[in-house]
Structure 1
Amino acid sequence: MSVFKKLLARVGIGAAQVDTHLFQNSLVPGETLEGEVHISGGDVAQEIDDIYLKVATEYEREYKQNDEERTIHEECILIKYLLSERFLLQTKEKKVISFSLQLPYETPLTMGRQPVYLQTGLDIKSAVNPRDRDELKVQPHPLMQGVLEAVENLGFRLQEVDCEYTTHFHRSYPFVQEFEFRPTGKYRRHLDELEVIFCLSPEKLEVLLQIDKRARGFKGWFNEAFDLDERYDRFYLTQSDLAQENIAATIDSIIQSHLH
């Protein structure tokens, strides 16, 4: 019977199980994620090679195939943490391992349909590896929130949020998260859109603005056709700059400088 149970365990029947309990699933980038991994032994003893935690997300990447533009979604591992090395898990044994890990500062916000999740896995030789997935809610850092509110107060409406593949920004991961705003106020006749990209660090927030001017006349059409209507600028914020009025004034001044 034990041989039969071992064969079943190899395909996942009566095998070890893993379940992660998070103390909190709502964080801002840079905060600490804490919880416990609960492991339950199955019908037979199994050698666990290691236990790992992965914080992951997804991004879009465009490519050409047969002269057609296509988009695929790729997974990006933001951080991988080895929780435990090899040990023998006995039949019906219960094991609880606590963990604490810092969420990377470049973790995207879970706005729109952007997923960020914690994946827990057991590596078991010659067997199906048990896994558990927990969705995380990543909220804006106070500096990010200040920028988002300031942009909306200037008469822009958030249209879309997505993570796109790029290698132009020399960041830790092959994507950036873009916040696309459409003008509804005083800039409605001057801009097509305003895109915001964040780069957060422990000391400051870097804000990159892409200002897409509305085409006017032949020159405007020419500029738009060759993406010459897009202008880029950036500014930096620290904790001392949290006054929303000051952030709005900074963004307004930058936009004005590109319109004249």
Structure 2
Amino acid sequence: MFKQMLAAAGVGGAEVDTELFTPGVQPGGLVEGVIRLRGGRVDQTVGQVAVEFITRVEREYSDGEERVADQAFGRVAVTGPFTLGAGRTAEFRFAAPVPLETPITFFDGHHLPGAAVALRTVVDLHGAVDSTDTDPIGIGALPAQHVVLDAVRRMGFPLLRTDVEAGRINRTPQRLPFYQELEFGRSPHFPRVNQLEVTFVAAEQGMAVVWKPISRAVCSVEPATGSGCSGSITPSWHTRIGPGRSTRACTGSAPSADPACTSRRNCGTSRLHPRPTSGWGDAAAPGW
């Protein structure tokens, strides 16, 4: 009885260790590995063995404070229920599909500052503390994301940081309850843009790219009314990249000569598509 009480509290209970065969992957790919269980001092009932992805999500609360917490997504059941005998071992292979909206942590062989994704193994133990194991994993940029990020780099915008924010973006195929935002600093070629923020929302049929340039407002004073304006202008452009075409739409109150700010139009024949490619070799992110 005493051993059962200790196992229920997580002392002397079942242990789990996960080995990943794919430390690096792209959104839409598969993470494969093996889960090894070792029984504790008493027999325990395992309700389910599952794997899930986790990332750090920033959430703003009603009091105005922002807090960061781990957010699970893309959970996959591996096996269960079954009884794990005391001191016994068991192994289970798994292949977990990576959601297309998973935040990327690597681009062009470099770790993106602030980006972190891990695979967590969860063993649901009836009447006891669940056993878990967490392994960091590298998520490489998709081909379409590579093209966009390379273009931003060539325009002279330096990457400052990345974060993942809770919420949804209108007019995108978003399915997860959060999105990744990549923040870039000033470019010498665009002195009026103080900061550029880019968000990708990938889906099977294509990918939405949201551009958010933050710039100082430049307004003229009307002689008749004496009115003017100050502060910053933050429009946002939604680019949809898919097989065969790309469309743009712009929201915000910024004055612009770009027709995209007043209507949606065809922007060419880009054939970028967010499907995974083989041979991606970025390493896993350091530490979780």
- Calculate the TM-score normalised by the size of structure 2: 0.74
Task: Determine the structure 1 residue equivalent to 2:12.
Answer: 14
Match of 1:107 among 83, 99, 102: 102
1:29-178 alignment, distance < 5 Å: 29-65=27-63, 69-110=64-105, 111-169=112-170, 171-178=174-181
The 1:240/1:183 distance shift into structure 2, 3 A limit, reads farther
**Maintained 8 Å contact 1:46/1:88:** yes
Equivalenced residues, count: 237
Gaps in structure 2 of 5+ consecutive residues: 106-111, 222-226, 246-255, 262-288
Pick the aligned partner of 1:192 from 189, 194, 201.
194
**Equivalent position of 1:245 in the other structure:** none
Could you tell me which amino acid in structure 1 is paired with residue 98 of structure 2? L
- How far the C-alpha of 1:125 sits from its partner, in A, is 1.8
Give 5+ residue unaligned stretches, structure 1. Answer: 242-254
**RMSD over aligned Cα atoms:** 2.6
Deviation track 1:146-204 (CA, whole Å, cap 9, x = no partner) reads: 1111111011111221112223436212222111222322112x211221111112342
Residues 204-219 of structure 1: pairs in structure 2 closer than 5 A:
204-216=206-218
Q: Cα deviations across residues 15-46 of structure 1 (Å, max 9, x unaligned)? A: 21111111012111111111111011122221
Partners of 1:230 and 1:224 lie apart in 2 by 12
Say if 2:60 and 2:66, in contact at 8 Å, map to a contact too.
yes
* Contact kept in structure 2, 1:18 and 1:37, CA below 8 Å: yes
TM-score normalised over the length of structure 1: 0.81
Question: Contact conserved, 1:34 with 1:100, CA < 8 A, in 2?
Answer: yes
Tell me the equivalent position of 1:237. 241
| Secondary structure in 1 matching 2:204 | coil
The corresponding residue for 1:183 is 186
Q: What is the percent sequence identity of the aligned residues?
A: 27
Q: Is the 8 A contact 1:106 1:200 kept in 2?
A: yes
CA distance 1:4–1:232, change in 2 (3 Å): closer
Contact 1:143 1:238 (C-alpha < 8 Å) held by counterparts: no
**Which runs of structure 1 show a deviation greater than 6 angstroms over 4 or more consecutive aligned residues?**
none
Task: Provide the secondary structure at the position in 2 that maps to 1:9.
Answer: helix
> 8 Å contact 1:116–1:136 — kept in the other structure?
yes
Distance (Å, rounded) in 2 between the aligned partners of 1:47 and 1:217: 69
What is the CA–CA distance in structure 2 between the aligned matches of 1:223 and 1:140, rounded to whole Å? 40
**What is the distance in 2 between the residues matched to 1:33 and 1:138?**
10
Q: Deviations over 1:44-87 (max 9, x none)?
A: 2211121121212121122342xxx3111243222112211211
CA 1:60–1:224: 2 relative to 1, 3 Å = farther
Bigger drift between 206-215 and 31-40 goes to 206-215
Higher helix share: 1
Q: Distance in 1 between the 2:4 and 2:177 partners?
A: 42
**Structure 2 CA distance for aligned equivalents of residues 149 and 143 of structure 1:** 10
User: Once the 2 structures are TM-superposed, how far is the Cα of residue 98 of structure 1 from its aligned partner?
Assistant: 0.5
Q: Which moved more, 1:7-16 or 1:42-51?
A: 7-16
Asked whether the 8 Å contact 2:162–2:181 carries over to 1, the reply is yes
Match of 1:27 among 13, 25, 50: 25
Partner in structure 2 of residue 247 of structure 1:
none
Deviation (angstroms), 1:237: 3.2
Is the alpha carbon distance of 1:222 and 1:194 closer, same or farther for their aligned partners in structure 2, counting shifts above 3 Å? farther
Task: Tell me the distance in 2 between the aligned counterparts of 1:173 and 1:205.
Answer: 14
